[in-house]
Structure 1
Amino acid sequence: MTSLDDLIRSCLLPAVSGSGLTPWLRRQLETGMPGVLVLPGAVPAGRTDAAVLAGTVHGHAEDLLVAVDEEGGDVTLLDHAEGSAYPGSLALGVADDLELTARVATAMAEDLAAAGITYNLAPSLDVNSDPDNPIIGVRSFGSDPALVAAHGSAYIRAMQNGGIAVAAKHFPGHGATVSDSHHSLPVVPIDADTFRARELAPFAAAVAAGAKSLMAGHVLFPAVDPDAPASMSRTILHHLLRTEWHYDGVVVGPAVAMASAHGPDAVADAAVRSLRAGADLLLLGGADPQPLCDIIVAAVHEAVRGGVLDADDLARAAGRVAALRSWTGAARRSRGVGQEAAARAARSTGDVVLPGPAVVVELREDAHSQVGGAHWSIAEPLAALGLTAARITVGPSGDGPEEVLATTGSTPLVLAVRDAYRHPWQRTWLDRALALRPDAVLVAVGMPDDAALTDTASITTHGAGRVNTRAAADLLAGRP
């Protein structure tokens, strides 16, 4: 039988900052804590450090959550030192192309997966209805609830299809506030009808899109619950989300992290109130999560003894967190098997390791009606590794190699083809390109016969699937 201590600890997500995995945290991961939240200070080198830290975490258990805030734009962990490789939500909302939003989310999911991240505390589904909002702004898709709902849903589906669980935030909405909930309690004095029509619409869409979790906002809506912010409101988290919407995903509570600056009593109160309201997973902020954990365990024990909290509710919360872990673990295993197979199939001849970011030229034929229409790219997985300087696509009527390569200088060059041996224009193009740049690396993502078109460095992937092109990128990067 699971002890009360175990139930409590399985509902806590400790933050990792510059100190990394302490001996205490390693013990917790071995005995039931569900994972870690990685803060930028823990990974100063971004993707490289993130991958090392995530590998250490998953060494304790494959299904442990490795969570980050990776929204793109202004909020990034992987690219914190140099700025995000992706636009944030507002830019995507302005572009207003749902397919583009999905493509960006797919690429971000690939980057996160490559770094061992399994859980993204994004996207922000707040409707940015007050321009004086100090905390949302460009993190929102926009001020139109329908637009936010549409782009949020596209983002969620794409990221989760990429194997990364999301936590859509900040339920039920943080876009109409004029204060920062990290420093004071924002109050949104809107009526119940506006609350439902404007604030809730994107989150209803997120639930319909299958969002694995929602993060509660630390915001007070007096018309809905005058006594508690959403993160501690049973009216909002239980009656609305669980009972009315029948949502059974994980509800993330940020209140403990926000209370940590106000002393032990504030931490204890926030934890008990959040769990009683319906939160499943509490974020432990601060440099050292151990004292926060001890405070929460003691407070929850007392609340259960006093009848304030029901141990069965804690068990249900722990079960939802376990289901989230199971989903991310299955996604990692599926991705890992496919990547292993693709890596074992890839072959290289000559020195294919790039000395630096490369210009990637992809020769593309019109797709067959049954084969070849699926997306493929060598430039994208290379970009995730920081090795794409530029991407150029050439079709049957495109520019010749003299024009395309005129500005590449001595920048490393990758030529990606698919069954070029069967297409005269591609063979001719490659012959001329390789005469100009015999140092180019040829990557064949179709039949391996293409490798015979060069007598220098080449890679054959035996397929153009995402795992195949990732395997080629790993070889180009010199990764094992």
Structure 2
Amino acid sequence: MTDQDLRALALRTLLPGFSGTTAPRWALDLLAEGIGGYVLFGYNIANPGQVAELTAQLRAVRPDALIGADEEGGDVTRLHHAAGSPYPGNAALGAVDDVELTRAVHRAIGDELHAVGVNLNCAPAVDINVADDNPVIGTRSFGRDPHLVARHAAAAIAGLQDAGVAACAKHFPGHGATVDDSHHTLPMVDVSLETLRERELVPFAAAIAAGTRVVMTGHIRVPSLTGELPATLSPAALTTLLRGELGFGGAVITDAVEMRGVSGTRGIPAAIAQAIGAGCDLICFGGETQKQGPMTDLVHATVGAILTAVKSGELPEERLHDAARRGDELRSWLVGAQGNGNGVHTAASVGPDAARRAVHVEGTVPNLSDALIVHIDTPGNIAVGDVPWGVTPLLAKRLAESETLYLDHDTADTSAVTARADGRSVVVVARDTHRHHRSRTLVEGVAASGIPTVLVEMGWPARWRPAGAAAYVATYGAAPVNAEAATEALLGN
């Protein structure tokens, strides 16, 4: 093949990002050259009408362009990043454990995406949250039990694809047993292949059986499977296990390649060439890199790295053909699936009910009429981003005699709270309290002082409970719809 032919194949595998609520000229030019599509982030989204105009702008250049987004519902949302998601996320749906509800929620999410022209949802996360201290999965997981996660993974995939949107099961082979974040380092899941098959792979097998069109790789190392490599760069994980043993025939997509778990020691172009060689068909990159300016140079450098790898024999030419073919098959399926987004479920019809059913109250909620509401600001990980969260404004609005105190999770001080409480009940609102020493110490310190204390846990509900607290309220997520449900539970209405 000529260099031009190889270049065309390479471009079809790439899904970069760009800044702004309209497509910049360079992004449209790359589409005209044949790039596979784009992934949208919160900074690309202002409102549904604007997103529809943006996707139409892209498709005017390439009608079959893949346009993706991470719309998991709950804590990870792109369409609703400004205000927070109207849907509870996976942890809440797993807590309810009603697969028809999970399917309905994801059908509604799919319909929203379809309506604005997004045809690839980088969801659902089907990781089993084995480790309570996992900093990157948590409420994005349906739960701890492999079979519960499996049945909800299948239901979510069915709901999304009923709407004509490609689902993407992630993060293969499972990111739930880690205590490190692959955005910053290369996490390790040090388990046997037998354990992997009995635990992490169960939801992926269910997702494949449900017909997921896409599987996303995780930038995690499983020594028994991948050796020193992250799964994204491992033929043993992607070709032997995912394709061979599990029988997946759809498109394999990478998590963002600029994450240090995969490109930290290699650089982005080399990591992408290696990922294609390992078995990846579509490459996500640029969610963070694009903030430095147009990605044209990086795209061309990446295409150059792919061509160099082909010519050296490191990347077999037939593997590049296969990657481009699988991406084309996904585009063909999406063209045929268009027009299916006419479901009966909406955020309003399924979101509040699902969130209410998920709320779990342990203990007895004391009188909160004049409570001191303590909001511990706990930032989300990069996948979550800067999305509004918490029950504090709702409680403050409905409890006219209450007082609100905002604290940072790494400077939270027990004495500041006990001094302000002055005989009143205290409501502490936090995320992943168990993972933050000062947050844990504050809740238990206030409770130990004899003050009636309620912890509203809006992150992952770990096995830890605050000693002496009057009540523990688990919402299984921090989206506005979870906050409304928690407010109702706390106030008895």
SS in structure 2 of the partner of residue 170 of structure 1: strand
Is the contact made by 2:9 and 2:320 (CA closer than 8 Å) also made in structure 1?
Answer: yes
Partner of 1:424: none
Alignment match, 2:172 = 171
- In structure 2, the partner of 1:3 is 5
One-letter identity of the residue aligned with 1:178: V
Give, as a single letter, the amino acid of the residue that structure 1 aligns with 2:308.
E
Alignment of 1:79-228 (within 5 A): 79-228=80-229
Q: State the number of aligned residues.
A: 343
The match for 1:319 among 320, 325, 330 is 325
Question: Residues of 2 paired with 1:381 and 1:85: CA distance?
Answer: 6
Please state if 1:39 is matched with 2:41: yes
Aligned partner of 1:320: which letter? Answer: R
Cα distance change on mapping 1:79 and 1:217 into 2, 3 Å: same
1:283 has 2:284 as partner: yes
Q: Highest relative contact order (Cα 8 Å, sep 6+), 1 or 2?
A: 2
Distance change in 2, residues 1:376/1:261 (3 Å): closer
8 A contact 2:114–2:164 mirrored in 1: yes
Return 5+ residue gaps in structure 1 as ranges. 340-374, 385-480
Q: Secondary structure at the match of 2:169?
A: strand
Q: 1:50 to 1:69 in 2, by over 3 A?
A: same
Q: What residue in structure 2 maps to residue 358 of structure 1?
A: none
Task: Output the aligned Cα RMSD.
Answer: 2.2
Is the contact between residue 183 and residue 261 of structure 2 (CA under 8 Å) also seen in structure 1?
no
* Contact 1:215 1:253 (C-alpha < 8 Å) held by counterparts: yes
Separation of aligned partners in 1, 2:190 and 2:153:
25
Change (3 A) 1:260 1:297: farther
- Report the equivalent of 2:252: 251
SS of equivalent residue, structure 1 residue 62: coil
Give yes or no for contact 1:260–1:266 (8 Å, CA) kept in 2: no
Instruction: Give unpaired runs (5+ residues) of structure 2.
Output: 351-493
CA–CA separation in structure 2 for the residues paired with 1:248 and 1:129: 28
Structure 1 position 307 matched with structure 2 position 313: yes
Deviation readout 1:370-401 (Å, 9 max, x if unpaired): xxxxx857xx48889xxxxxxxxxxxxxxxxx
Asked if structure 1 preserves the Cα contact closer than 8 Å seen for 2:105 and 2:347, the reply is no
Deviations 1:293-328 (A, max 9, x none): 112111111111111011111011100000111111
1:231-251: per-residue Cα shift (whole Å, max 9, x none)? Answer: 111000001111222221100
In the TM superposition, 1:231-246 aligns within 5 A as 231-246=232-247
Match of 1:21 among 3, 20, 23: 23
SS in 2 for 1:180: coil
**Partners of 2:197 and 2:334 in 1: how far apart?**
31
In structure 2, how many angstroms separate the alpha carbons of the residues matched to 1:299 and 1:376?
47
**Equivalences for residues 312-461 of structure 1 within 5 A:** 312-332=318-338, 334-335=339-340, 376=344, 380=346
Q: What residue number does 1:364 align with?
A: none
The 1:237/1:376 distance shift into structure 2, 3 A limit, reads closer
* Preserved CA contact (<8 Å) 1:259 1:267: no
| Deviating more after overlay: 282-291 vs 9-18 | 282-291
Name the counterpart of 1:57.
58
Q: Does the residue aligned with 1:251 lie in a helix, a strand or coil?
A: strand
**C-alpha distance in 1, partners of 2:75/2:102?**
16
The answer (yes or no) to whether the contact 2:219–2:261 under 8 Å persists in 1 is: no
1:317 maps to a residue whose letter is: A
Cα distance between partner residues in 1 of 2:219 and 2:213? 20
Please give the secondary structure, in 1, of the residue aligned with 2:167: strand
Question: What amino acid sits opposite 1:327 in the alignment?
Answer: W
How far the C-alpha of 1:335 sits from its partner, in A, is: 4.2
- 1:243-279, CA deviations, whole angstroms, 9 ceiling, x for partnerless residues? 2222211001235232599789511221121111100
Q: Normalising by structure 1, what TM-score?
A: 0.68
1:67-122, Cα deviation, whole Å (9 max, x unpaired): 00000000111111011010000000001000100110111111111111111000
| Contact residue 284 and residue 292 of structure 1 kept, 8 A | no
| Matching residue's letter, 1:295 | A
What whole-Å deviation, never above 9, does each CA across 1:22-72 have from its counterpart, x for those lacking one?
2221122123212110011111x2323222211211222332111000000
Matches within 5 A, 1:70-85: 70-85=71-86
Percent of counterpart pairs with the same letter? 42
Residues 136-164 of structure 1, C-alpha deviations (whole Å, 9 max, x = no match): 00000000000000000011011101100
Separation in structure 2 between the aligned mates of residue 297 and residue 104 of structure 1, nearest angstrom: 39
Partner residue in 1 for 2:302: 296
Secondary structure, counterpart of 1:173 in structure 2: coil
Query: Which whole-Å CA distance do the structure 2 matches of 1:102 and 1:383 have between them?
Result: 13
CA distance in 1, matches of 2:348, 2:330: 30
The amino acid that maps onto 2:318 is: D
Following the alignment from structure 2 to structure 1, what is the Cα–Cα distance between the partners of residues 265 and 22?
Answer: 23
Distance between the aligned counterparts of 1:295 and 1:263, measured in 2? Answer: 17
Contact 1:123 1:168 in 2 (8 A): yes
In 2: Cα distance, 1:153 partner to 1:30 partner: 36
Asked whether the 8 Å contact 1:255–1:270 carries over to 2, the reply is no
TM-score, with length taken from structure 2:
0.66
